[in-house]
Amino acid sequence: MAGRISRREALKLFGAGAVACGAGICATSAASADARHWHEAMYYDKLGNKKIRCRVCPKECVVGDRERGFCGCKENHDGTYHTLVYGQCAALNIDPIEKKPLFHYLPGTSAYSIAAAGCNFDCKDCQNWEISQTRPEQLKDTLDLPPQQVAAQAKRYKVRSIAYTYSEPVVFYEYMFDSAKAGRQAGIKSIMISNGSIRPEPMERLLPHLDAIKIDLKSISPDFYRDYCVGDVTPVLDTIKLVKSKRKWLEIVYLVVPTLNDDPVEVRDMCQWLMDNVGPDVPLHFSRFHPAYQLKKLPPTPYDTLERCADIARDVGLNYVYLGNVPGDEHATTRCTGCDKTLIRRNGFAVVEMNLANGGCKSCSTKVPGVWS
Ligand code: SF4
Ligand code: SF4
């Protein structure tokens, strides 16, 4: 990307005196990160000479003293690695679960949704770049919300779940982990809305505390991940397989970006990979792209392109294919694979009709994969 300095380069150049934001260098002292939100990181190796290697995500950043990793929300102090955002909530909403989107998980319920600053990707189309590409000390209006309070507030608002969402929860792993544990003790479920770029060991440790996971599969192409996300597809595919093998509820979103990942051959390859590795019953949401962040010059995804993607997915054999960010409810309707009757009809994020009984179709009793109560 011509003319733009990477975050890692900036941190190397300026050390603790400046940090890089998504748009370039931000002259903000790392020392101003609020010490109340420091918490020792759960996964890192000490390398000597006060260097560490972070072991949460596949980037495995090697970080010198007083430096930060790629995500910008973890910092090395004298050879001890810290998250800087433990209990520092950067966004908070009570959302319908359909907004995540999760369509086969407790439909019609709400999720207490939180985020912290940072991400281990830098997607050119990020809709939440103000949070994901910003350092914690640059955010205004953050909220002190430690894990026990997350659980207590979720209970107070009578939601069924806590969602770790908006930015990338992998990089606020410690905050998510303890909130999910506190939520479990309070009888609240936890759902992770993620890019899936996490190492297997921390994911395996986290999974017993989670109840559902939505993963953004951005492309099946390594080139796309490298050029448009500053990431790698292989660990994402590995996480999808891991979640499936542990029998946690999983849904996949594929944001269809015009000209970049909408090639029918590529879409077919992606659908076939899902069929081969997680089976026909994983819900797949094709989501419409809207111009944002560094991809403002591209148009929104044409409706025909989304329909073509859905046709390909059904042709490959996927049973539950949805379109997102499009008007009209037909493409957000769940149909019975046995008798084709409407099982769940949605209008926007609202559930307006439910024809399920005991996890199956009311008409023909065909079982519907998902978590319904
Ligand atoms: S979590 Fe952050 S610091 Fe750790 S490896 Fe990933 S990007 Fe690097
Ligand atoms: S992974 Fe998600 S939050 Fe992170 S940059 Fe990409 S779109 Fe934004």
Paired tokens of 308: 């073509």
Question: What is the pLDDT, as a whole number, of residue 327?
Answer: 79
Tallying the residues shown for the chain, one arrives at 373
Per-residue pLDDT at 16: 33
Residue 330 vs residue 344, higher pLDDT = 344
Torsion of CA 286, 287, 291, 292, to 10 degrees: -120
Residue 121 region by backbone torsions, left for phi larger than 0, else alpha for psi between -120 and 50, else beta:
beta
Ligand 2 pocket residue status of 168, Cβ below 6 Å? yes
Output the pTM of the full model: 0.92
> Which tens digit of pLDDT belongs to each residue from 49-67?
999 999 999 999 999 999 9
Q: What percent of the chain has pLDDT over 90?
A: 89
Any idea which ligand is nearest the CA of 225?
A: 2
What percent of the chain lies above the pLDDT cut of 70? 91
Q: Rounded mean pLDDT of 282-309?
A: 97
206 by DSSP, 3-state: which?
helix
**Residue 85 pLDDT exceeds 70:** yes
Domains in the chain with CATH codes: 88-340 (3.20.20.70), 341-373 (no CATH)
**293 CA from centroid of ligand 2 (Å):** 11
Average pLDDT over residues 3-8: 38
Which pLDDT value is given to residue 35? 83
- Rounded to the nearest whole angstrom, what is the distance from the C-alpha of residue 362 to the centroid of ligand 2? 39
If pLDDT is split at 50, 70 and 90, which confidence band does 33 have?
Answer: low
Query: Who wins on pLDDT, 364 or 22?
Result: 364
Distance between Cα 130 and ligand 2 center (Å): 11
- Are residues 103 and 334 in contact, defined by beta-carbon separation less than 8 angstroms? yes
Cα(137)–Cα(30) distance, rounded to whole angstroms?
A: 8
How many whole angstroms separate alpha carbon 282 and alpha carbon 87? Answer: 33
Residue of minimum CA distance from atom 8 in ligand 2: 126
Above 60 in pLDDT, residue 26? no
Determine if ligand 2 sits within 6 Å of the CB of residue 197: no
In the prediction, which pLDDT does 24 show?
Answer: 26
From 57, 59, 127, 132, the mutation candidate for ligand 2 (largest count of ligand atoms within 8 A of CB) is: 132
Among residues 273, 252, 251, which one has the least CA distance to residue 317? 273
Name the band, by pLDDT with cuts 50, 70 and 90, for residue 11: very low
Region 31-57: mean pLDDT is 91
14-18, 42-46, 58-62, 331-335: the lowest-pLDDT one = 14-18
Q: What is the pLDDT of residues 202-234, one digit of tens each?
A: 999 999 999 999 999 999 999 999 999 999 999
What's the chain's average pLDDT?
A: 91
Ligand 1 nearest atom to the CA of residue 72, by list position: 2
For the Cβ of 195 lying below 6 angstroms from any atom of ligand 2, the answer is yes
Ligand 1 mutation target, pool 40, 56, 84, 86, most atoms within 8 A of CB = 56
**Cα–Cα distance measured from residue 152 to residue 157, given in angstroms and rounded to the nearest whole number:** 9
Strands 39-40 and 24-26 come out as unpaired
232-272 per-position pLDDT tens digit: 999 999 999 999 999 999 999 999 999 999 999 999 999 99
Which range (81-85, 94-98, 135-139, 314-318) has the least confidence?
135-139
Does 60 contact ligand 1 (Cβ within 6 A)? Answer: yes
The strand ranges marked E within 210-305 are 212-216, 249-256, 284-288
CB distance 240 to 215 below 8 Å:
yes
- pLDDT confidence of residue 18: 29
- How confident is the model at residue 167, as a pLDDT? 97
Tens digits of residue pLDDT in 115-171:
999 999 999 999 999 999 999 999 988 999 999 999 999 999 999 999 999 999 999
pLDDT at residue 1 tops 80: no
